[in-house]
Amino acid sequence: MPRSPAASPATDAPNGAASGDAKPALKADLRSAPAKALDRMGLDTPLALALHLPLRYEDETRLSAIAALQPGQTAQVEGQIVECRVDFRPRRQLVARLHDDAGDELVLRFVNFYPSHQKTLATGQRVRVRGELRGGFFGREMVHPTFKAVDEHTPLAAALTPVYPAGAQLPQAYLRKAVAAGLSRAPLDELLPASVLPPGLPSLRAALQFLHQPPASASLATLEDHSHPAWQRLKFEELLAQQLSQMQSRRERARLAAPVMQALPGGLHERLLAVLPWGLTDAQQRVSQEIAADLAKPQPMHRLLQGDVGSGKTVVAALAAAVAMDAGWQCALMAPTEILAEQHFVKLVQWLQPLGITVAWLTGSRKGKGRREMLERVASGEAKLIVGTHAVIQDDVQFARLGLAIVDEQHRFGVAQRLALRRKLRTERGPGSPALEPHLLMMSATPIPRTLAMTYFADLEVSTIDALPPGRTPILTKVFGEGRRDEVMARIAEEVARGRQVYWVCPLIEESEAEGDGRGKPLSELANATDTHQELSDALPGVVVGLIHGRLAPTEKAEVMARFASGQTAVLVATTVIEVGVDVPNASLMVIEHAERFGLAQLHQLRGRVGRGEVASICVLLYSSPLSETGKQRLKAMVETGDGFEIARRDLEIRGPGEFMGARQSGDALLRFADLAEDAPLLARARQAAPWLLDHHPAAARAQVARWLGSKADFLKA
Ligand code: ADP
Ligand code: MG
């Protein structure tokens, strides 16, 4: 019998944390395999164990008569072993015959067995077995049933038996004991005043007790669909903790001081507006005003600017930067890729250089003397606007007076980078103004669905550009099977003959790039961008076909992009490096090969590379069979709508919120119990309760967040 987990050193001294212990590793080695497995699953505290909920339940509270069993039915039966023997045909196996009290017979068959099996199942023994009934050739039988020795008085289980998510080396019996022990020791005292709870829910302890050991009379249906009050209680607890944490960070931010920034009459902001070749759309004007109002406040802005691909976010960012510079502050603009950063840089230079502003450029590939000089100009405050990749937040970059940080496509930065940015902003305080925190503007072309905006992003202000600049024609989207490649080629030739340009996107370029692709298709099936480049060059004589992919050096990428932007290249074969931000208004046809392999948000982003000018544009989604169900849904969504918000809504529907957030990368499910799609009423209640709780029971609010989010709270803020 494995050692009781309650007595395991793992629960008391995790990871050899005890100070002065010279050989913590030795201690760890002594623990049993199941104890280590518990640790690996993060089940290393009584609370973690108490919150490890069953996947399903087995009913061991009753016995069935053998005569009444139907094939396929899982049941528990008790009786006497009348024969137990080892057969050798068709292969070595243990066969026992059991008679229940009515005298009906059941055959138990084990292909793998140990001496202990033979001992427990010896002739004359009384046993209780549980398994699925098969109508075999020799009568009723169970293959590999669970079994245990009993006598006439052995009581039946009083509760349904929980079956837990478990890993290798973690037997259910061990896990059940560990969870029961955790449940009895976990600090589950009620933190919440009854008035915040939805009516009719059990206490937290009672809820968990019920979920781990439901009585025989419990409704399996409400347990399985999570509508049972015990489930509701857990979901509410979790949603409330999440709301509290968001609201807490919002309030913390409100206590920080930030530079007050206002555009100067006749200043940069005004002059920039005057030199733009077009007027702002109403939507751009509105969001610009929202941002300007934030910048004029003495608290740091924490705003997300969302707007569909091509809605014109860059100029809004430039205007915000102009306000900051007008007020004498530096502004940093960060983009997730070098290509995107470069596009911003080019555009900002084009707009601001004539107005006398030097835009600085900072990326990872910039090294040596050039970089040192740049850093000096940033540190001296001579560089007012600094554009680049995450190189902008490296430790050696010191700003003289950073007043505004703008992050484009912020969700594409990893969690670690987002946290690094927050830390950087914390410490980056100009010498003249030690207590000031910069304003933060984030931009995204992937709109956050409403439910997520109310939960994970509850501490963000959101501005939305909800209309595209005028004169755009909607993009026609078509789905073609691989077999119609020739038609697509002909279409490309037509577009080029009209003086238009074409993108052709391939999912991967070289076999080695596919590491971590993880979608399980053999690589040889993937379109190879180099081959495709060759194929298009052959099929389109006289047409200049370019090629861009992630393996090119940044300068090479920039050259390829520049040739396409200037029209020297008519067709550009690309891997997904072109996904974000690339802006070539003359491009009118987008072909996406193996479209079924892309996510919906990514497809929408790619499609947004065309339809940027006044020409009617087409997006062709090429797919190979067989299409998965979700693949089909994604392509259907693409054909049916061009609206980024609708796309995001469907994406959420298809993938669920965890994946939407990119949480899979972090390996952490964001909500363990609640389901945003189903639990809207609970969420509404949690939103209502959170501010009241923070005001009137701050200690309980803190304890609630710590209990449910623990170390995750940091991640949620990123
Ligand atoms: P995104 O929101 O995807 O970042 P961009 O800022 O790249 O969009 O803008 C897309 C294109 O629209 C650019 O060519 C930009 O110059 C142009 N644009 C932006 N605002 C307007 C406007 N008000 N009128 C016309 N064109 C605009
Ligand atoms: Mg953009």
What are the tens digits of pLDDT across the range 135-182? 767 789 999 999 999 998 999 988 888 999 887 788 888 999 999 999
Spell out the domains of the chain, with CATH numbers in brackets. 5-56+163-189+200-225 (no CATH), 62-156 (2.40.50.140), 268-465 (3.40.50.300), 475-641 (3.40.50.300)
**Which helix (H) or strand (E) element contains residue 128?**
strand 126-132
Residues in the chain: 718
Put residue 266 in one of left, alpha, beta given phi > 0 → left and psi -120 to 50 → alpha. left
| Rounded CA separation 251/656 (Å) | 29
- CA distance to 269, 410, 443, per residue, from 287 (Å): 15, 18, 12
Residue 490: predicted pLDDT: 94
Cα 652 to averaged position of ligand 2 atoms, centre (Å): 22
Low-confidence ranges of the chain (pLDDT < 50): 1-26, 28, 430, 433, 509-526, 580, 662-669, 715-716, 718
| Rounded CA separation 416/405 (Å) | 17
Residue range 40-80, pLDDT digits in tens: 888 889 999 999 999 889 888 889 999 999 888 889 999 99
| Rounded CA separation 673/692 (Å) | 23
Tell whether pTM > 0.75: no
Residue 327: predicted pLDDT: 94
Atom 13 of ligand 1, residue of closest alpha carbon: 312
Q: Is 311 in the pocket of ligand 1 (CB under 6 A)?
A: yes
The closest alpha carbon to 630, from 651, 606, 605, 660, belongs to 651
| Rounded CA separation 571/589 (Å) | 9
- Mutation pick for ligand 1 pocket among 273, 275, 278, 579 (CB with most ligand atoms within 8 Å): 278
Atom of ligand 1 nearest to the CA of 316: 6
HEC readout, 645-709:
HHHHHHHHHHHCHHHHCCHHHHCCCCCCCCCCCCCHHHHHHHHHHHHHHHHHCHHHHHHHHHHHC
- CA distance to 29, 366, 460, 547, per residue, from 558 (Å): 54, 14, 34, 12
Atom of ligand 1 nearest to the CA of 313: 2
Residue 608: predicted pLDDT: 87
**Which helix (H) or strand (E) element contains residue 304?**
strand 302-307
- CA distance to 53, 213, 326, 692, per residue, from 174 (Å): 15, 16, 66, 42
- The string of DSSP letters for 377-443 reads HHHHT---EEEESGGGGSTT---SSEEEEEETTGGGS-HHHHHHHHHHHHH---TT-TTB--EEEEE
**For the chain, what is the mean pLDDT?**
83
Atom 9 of ligand 1, residue of closest alpha carbon: 312
Q: Is 314 in the pocket of ligand 1 (CB under 6 A)?
A: yes
Quick check: 441 and 405 in contact, CB under 8 A?
yes
Omega prior to 90 cis, within 30 of 0: yes
Residue range 431-474, pLDDT digits in tens: 554 568 889 999 988 777 777 777 777 778 899 998 888 877 78
Residue range 248-257, pLDDT digits in tens: 888 888 888 8
Sequence-separated (6 or more) residues with CB below 8 Å from residue 219:
228
| Rounded CA separation 477/279 (Å) | 29
Helix (H, G, I), strand (E, B) or coil at 542: coil
Cα 337 to averaged position of ligand 2 atoms, centre (Å): 12
